[in-house]
C-alpha cells in the first residue's frame, strides 16, 4: 500500500471512530461523559443502533462499489436490481397480514430473495449480460412498486403509515437480537467480495478481455451478483430502504483512491459505515426530542452532493 492510500485509510478510520463517539452522545436525551458508563439508554438503545448503522452503511457502500464495477455503470447502486422494491412489497404484505416486530425483516428478506431469484433467472438466459441485469432489475422495480401502491389503495391508513416509515429507512429497530443475527448475513458476504476484488478489477475492462486474461467472467459475475444482492437484502430487511449511501460513497472514494477494488472496497466500507452513523446522529438531534428517519438525511446529503458532483465533473465516464 502506498503512502497516499495509507494516509487515506488512517483519516477514514479517525472519522469512523469520531462518528461512533458522536452518535453515542447524540439523541433526544443528552448524556454527559462522566455518567455515560452504565446508562441503559447507551447500552440497550444507542450501541445496538450504532452497530446496526455501521453494518448497514458499510455493506451498502461496499455493494454499491461492486455493482458499479460489475455493471460498468456509474449510476448502479445496491437497489438497481429491484431488491428494494421487492423488500417493500414483502413488508407491505407482512403489515397488511398482521405481522409485526421481528417478523417484518423476515418478510423483507423473503421479498429481496424473490427479486434476486427472478433477476438471476432472466439474466442467466442472457449469459449475465449487463443490459439484461439492469433492465431486469428496473422492470421488476416498477412492477413491485406498482403492487405496493395497489395494496396501499385498499389498506387501512395506519398500516400505510407504518410501511411508509419503513420505506424511508430507519435504524430505530435495532435490538440485541437483531444485531446478533444480521452480522451472519453481512460479514461473510463482505469477506467474499473482498476475495474477488482482483477479478472485479479485470471485469471492469470488459468481459472479452477478462476471458483472455483467464477469468471466467460469467462465473465471477454470478458469485458477485448473488453475494452483493443477498447482503443488500439483509441490509434492507434490518433497516428499510436507506438511499444514496451505496451510490454516493463509492463515487467519492473512487475519486480519492482510484479504481482498484482491492483498495476501493474496504475504503468504501469504512466510509459508508461512518457516513450512515453520522447521518443517524443528525436525524436524532435535528428536531429533538423528535427524530427523523435516517433515509431522509442520507437522501438530502446524497442529492445535494451528487448534483454538485455532476455539475463540477468535467468527464462523466469513470471506467
Q: Let me know: does 143 contact 80? Beta carbons within 8 Å.
A: no
Portion of the chain with pLDDT greater than 70, in percent: 91
Whether the per-residue pLDDT at 96 is higher than 60: the answer is: yes
Whether the per-residue pLDDT at 318 is higher than 50: the answer is: no
Whether the per-residue pLDDT at 55 is higher than 70: the answer is: yes
Tell me: domain 3-312, CATH 3.40.440.10, correct? Answer: no
- Helix or strand or coil: residue 1? coil
Q: Bigger pLDDT: 158 or 112?
A: 112
Phi, psi of 125 (to 5 degrees): -70, -20
Average the pLDDT over each of 7-16, 243-252, 298-307 and give the range with the smallest value. Answer: 298-307
Q: Bigger pLDDT: 30 or 251?
A: 251
Separation CA 81–CA 140 (nearest Å) = 8
Backbone dihedral region of 315: left (phi > 0), alpha (psi from -120 to 50 degrees) or beta? beta
- Structure confidence at residue 272 as a pLDDT band (50, 70, 90): very high
Find the mean pLDDT for residues 144-149. 88
pTM above 0.85, yes or no: yes
What confidence score (pLDDT) does residue 73 get?
Answer: 81
Whether the per-residue pLDDT at 33 is higher than 60: the answer is: no
Cα Rg, the chain, nearest whole Å: 19
Whether the per-residue pLDDT at 300 is higher than 70: the answer is: yes
Whether the per-residue pLDDT at 208 is higher than 60: the answer is: yes
Amino acid at each position: 500500500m502506498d503512502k497516499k492510500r495509507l494516509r487515506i485509510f488512517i483519516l477514514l478510520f479517525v472519522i469512523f471512530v469520531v462518528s461512533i463517539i458522536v452518535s453515542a452522545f447524540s439523541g433526544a436525551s443528552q448524556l454527559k461523559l462522566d455518567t455515560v458508563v452504565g446508562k441503559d439508554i447507551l447500552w440497550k438503545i444507542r450501541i445496538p443502533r450504532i452497530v446496526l448503522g455501521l453494518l448497514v452503511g458499510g455493506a451498502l457502500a461496499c455493494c454499491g462499489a461492486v455493482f458499479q464495477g460489475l455493471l460498468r455503470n456509474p449510476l448502479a447502486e445496491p437497489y438497481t436490481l429491484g431488491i428494494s422494491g421487492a423488500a417493500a412489497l414483502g413488508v407491505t404484505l407482512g403489515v397488511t397480514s398482521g405481522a409485526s416486530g421481528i417478523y417484518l425483516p423476515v418478510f423483507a428478506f423473503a421479498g429481496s430473495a424473490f427479486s434476486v431469484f427472478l433477476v438471476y433467472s432472466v439474466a442467466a438466459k442472457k449469459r449475465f449480460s449487463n443490459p439484461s441485469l439492469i433492465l431486469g432489475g428496473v422492470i421488476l422495480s416498477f412492477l413491485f412498486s406498482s403492487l405496493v401502491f395497489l395494496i396501499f389503495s385498499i389498506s387501512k391508513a395506519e398500516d400505510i403509515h407504518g410501511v411508509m416509515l419503513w420505506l424511508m429507512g430507519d435504524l430505530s429497530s435495532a435490538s440485541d437480537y437483531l444485531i446478533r443475527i444480521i452480522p451472519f448475513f453481512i460479514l461473510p458476504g463482505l469477506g467474499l467480495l473482498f476475495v474477488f476484488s482482483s477479478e472485479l478489477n479485470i471485469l471492469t475492462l470488459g468481459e472479452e478481455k477478462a476471458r483472455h486474461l483467464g477469468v471466467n467472467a460469467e462465473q465471477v459475475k454470478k458469485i458477485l451478483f448473488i453475494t452483493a444482492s443477498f447482503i443488500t437484502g439483509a441490509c434492507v430487511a434490518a433497516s428499510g430502504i436507506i438511499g444514496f449511501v451505496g451510490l454516493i460513497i463509492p463515487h467519492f472514494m473512487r475519486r480519492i483512491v482510484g479504481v482498484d477494488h482491492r483498495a476501493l472496497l474496504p475504503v468504501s466500507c469504512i466510509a459508508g459505515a461512518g457516513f450512515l452513523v453520522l447521518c443517524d446522529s443528525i436525524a436524532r438531534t435535528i428536531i429533538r426530542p423528535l427524530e427523523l428517519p435516517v433515509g431522509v438525511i442520507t437522501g438530502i446529503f446524497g442529492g445535494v452532493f451528487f448534483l454538485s458532483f455532476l455539475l463540477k465533473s468535467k468527464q462523466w465516464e469513470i471506467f
